[in-house]
Amino acid sequence: MTVQPLERDAPVLELDGVDFRRGTTRILDGVSLTVRRGEHWALLGPNGSGKSTLLSFCGAIAHPTSGTVRVLGERLGATDVRILRQLIGYVDPRHALRTPRTVREIVETGVTGTIEPPLRWRADAETRRTVDDLATVMGLGSRLGHRWPTLSQGERGRTLIARALVARPALLLLDEPGTGLDLAARELLLQTLTRLAARQPALASVVVTHHLEDLPPSTTHAALLADGRIRATGLVRDVLTDDAVSGTFGCRVAVSERDGRWSARSRTDSTDGGGWGTPES
């Protein structure tokens, strides 16, 4: 089985009325979202809101309880997800390596869609050239022979992005890529994502995060998720407003943007009770 190429105007990612239950607990409730070529989405919400679960559907890693998920035009439940996953770049900072692989070996597994290199598999010359090119873009050219346990958290994050891109995916998914990064490493990561958006204009991406400060300037759209439901979706400037973000996170915040970089801080004016508590409707 092969995955058919997308038509130019077809959504890269389409979720329609998606529910997910774990036992008697509803994790997601009626979620709908559409992502198109060249769009770079931020998926924001508090802990436990269902962000990572939703991203796992986008990556063809898990299936919803009900509703429809189409990834690269293929409907989950009616396609071979093993093939589909090879066309999706998925970045999870909790990458579950079992052995201390080198940066080169880890990046190469983006072609096979596996955590460890398959037995007796060797990357071909074209893949090795692509790995070299991505390592340069990610600032890892001198680190290709270094092993995972010796890498900094920032180097690990950039290694996983290179791994996600080596198979030239149409969709890049990043689950809290800023986890554990210091200031310098976070800024380098955001610069890298911004360069990627310019370098590959057809690439679509979804970044899951808790923090507006972790959004790259290339972000075009945003979705706010709370209690398993989408609270707002659309162009990033229309969604990341004081009221919408405050309502999503359950605390009064002031949102600001400068040169494509976003931030939020607690409101401390005298009319809002010091900045905490559930916002008024």
Low-confidence ranges of the chain (pLDDT < 70): 1-8, 268-281
Q: Are 122 and 104 in contact (CB under 8 A)?
A: no
Beta bridge partners of 16: 68
Kindly list the domain boundaries of the chain, sorted by start residue. 13-244
pLDDT tens digits for range 171-226? 999 988 887 778 888 888 888 888 888 888 889 999 999 899 999 999 999 999 99
Residue 53, H or E segment? helix 51-58
Q: List, edge to edge, every strand of the sheet that includes 74-75.
A: 25-35, 13-22, 66-71, 74-75
Q: Are 105 and 117 in contact (CB under 8 A)?
A: yes
According to CATH, the topology of domain 13-244 is Rossmann fold (3.40.50)
pTM given for the model: 0.85
pLDDT tens digits for range 151-164? 988 888 889 989 98
pLDDT at 113: 75
* Cβ partners under 8 Å of residue 120, min gap 6: none
What are 52-55's contacts with CB under 8 Å, separation 24+? Answer: 52/175, 52/176, 52/208, 53/20, 53/27, 53/28, 54/15, 54/18, 54/28, 54/225, 55/173, 55/175, 55/206, 55/208
3-state secondary structure (DSSP) of residue 55: helix
